[in-house]
Amino acid sequence: MRESTPNKTINWGIIGLGNIANKFVQDLLTVENAKLYAVASRSLDKATEFAQKHKANIAYGSYEALAKNPNIDAVYIATPHVFHKENTLLCLENGIAVLCEKPLAMHVEEVEQMIAKAKEKKVLLMEALWTYFLPHYQLVLKEIANKTYGDVLKLEADFGFKSNHSKTTRVWDKSLGGGSLLDIGIYPIFAALSTLGKPKHIKAEATFADTEVDSSCDIEFNYDKNVTAILKSSFLEDTPTEANFYCENGMIKINTRFHGPTTVSITDLNGKEKTIDFNCKTIGYNYEIEHFNNLLRAQKTESDIMTFAFSKQLIKTLDDVRNLINLHY
């Protein structure tokens, strides 16, 4: 890994310049001692347009060219799921730290290959599951770990919206890893794994689009002591998109769009409710960026929050659900 200092400016590259990259870079530009240095697309025109819009130093018409630039410290990979492994390995081979969008790859074998390469090259790799780093989610994790309201007895978490995407777009395209489970179902599953851990038993059923990917997925995790997690993803309907933790002595509710910056409402056994507003002024990606930059400056090769073990557990659980609903890419 390159030498680093506590105040070193981190030069960022971005591979894949779609909608999420535009959001990510807006927050990157708010982070102290971080710079958008280079961007890459398979289309040089698209890369040039993106670079001009966001004031990047260099635009590349190939990912390989970006990965060979020795001035780049970190790369954010925002390509479709099926390309994550290939794009990540390219950067790691060239000694560049990688923050790769979720899911980290298509299945656990790919994730294990990526982690092995990061360890071999002694280069930082982290899955970009931004929710983990948001202040509201960190508070909820602390309250649950401390058992402030007793043990969690039940979790209900959902993420659904009525999709108006064309059937030719990525979210419906099986060849690009489309479907509700990998795209948005990962968030309710993440909520369960990060608070309740690995389930003892999983049930799942799904509906399918004519493109052979899941349009909705209903999942149930069962734990010891009759603890359950009821999880849902859907491209067919608008759902509350909340995470409700029913505890022995109250309820912790992450309000709508629980996976992004939002409020948390806590209700005690007497029905008294308080709502905590975290006053996030950004889209929310800056928190994971700051964490990643600090890891890089400290010459760490693995996050202590989004660990390799957790990324493997997350993708393995997604694999298990896919097998249950017979979704095979």
pLDDT band at 45 (very low <50, low <70, confident <90, very high): very high
Mean pLDDT of 179-199: 98
Q: What is the pLDDT of residues 154-179, one digit of tens each?
A: 999 999 999 988 888 999 999 999 99
pTM of the model: 0.97
**Kind and range of the H or E run holding 50:** helix 44-54
Strand, coil or helix: what is 123? coil
Tokens in use for 105?
A: 């790859």
Q: Give me the CATH code for the 10-129+286-300 domain, please.
A: 3.40.50.720
First-to-last alpha carbon distance for the chain, in angstroms, is 35
Strand, coil or helix: what is 17? coil
- CA triple 189-190-196, angle to 5 deg: 85
Specify the amino acid at residue 146. Answer: N
Q: What is the pLDDT of residues 5-39, one digit of tens each?
A: 778 999 999 999 999 999 999 999 999 999 999 99
pLDDT at 3: 52
pLDDT at 1: 44
Asked if residues 98 and 74 have their Cβ atoms less than 8 Å apart, the reply is yes
CATH 3.30.360.10 fits 135-279, yes or no: yes
- Residue 110's CB: how many other CB atoms inside 10 A? 20
Mean pLDDT of all residues in the chain? 97
Asked if residues 96 and 64 have their Cβ atoms less than 8 Å apart, the reply is no
Q: What is the pLDDT of residues 77-114, one digit of tens each?
A: 999 999 999 999 999 999 999 999 999 999 999 999 99
pLDDT above 90 for 214: yes
Tokens in use for 169?
A: 């777009």
**Kind and range of the H or E run holding 19:** helix 19-28
Asked if residues 188 and 157 have their Cβ atoms less than 8 Å apart, the reply is yes
Mean pLDDT of 211-227: 97
Give span(s): CATH 3.40.50.720, the chain. 10-129+286-300
Mean pLDDT of 54-65: 98
**Kind and range of the H or E run holding 194:** helix 186-196
Mean pLDDT of 221-239: 97
pLDDT at 68: 98
Q: Which residue has the tokens 């007895």?
A: 153
Give span(s): CATH 3.30.360.10, the chain. 135-279
Q: What is the pLDDT of residues 120-157, one digit of tens each?
A: 999 999 999 999 999 999 999 999 999 999 999 999 99
DSSP state of 148: B
pLDDT band at 228 (very low <50, low <70, confident <90, very high): very high
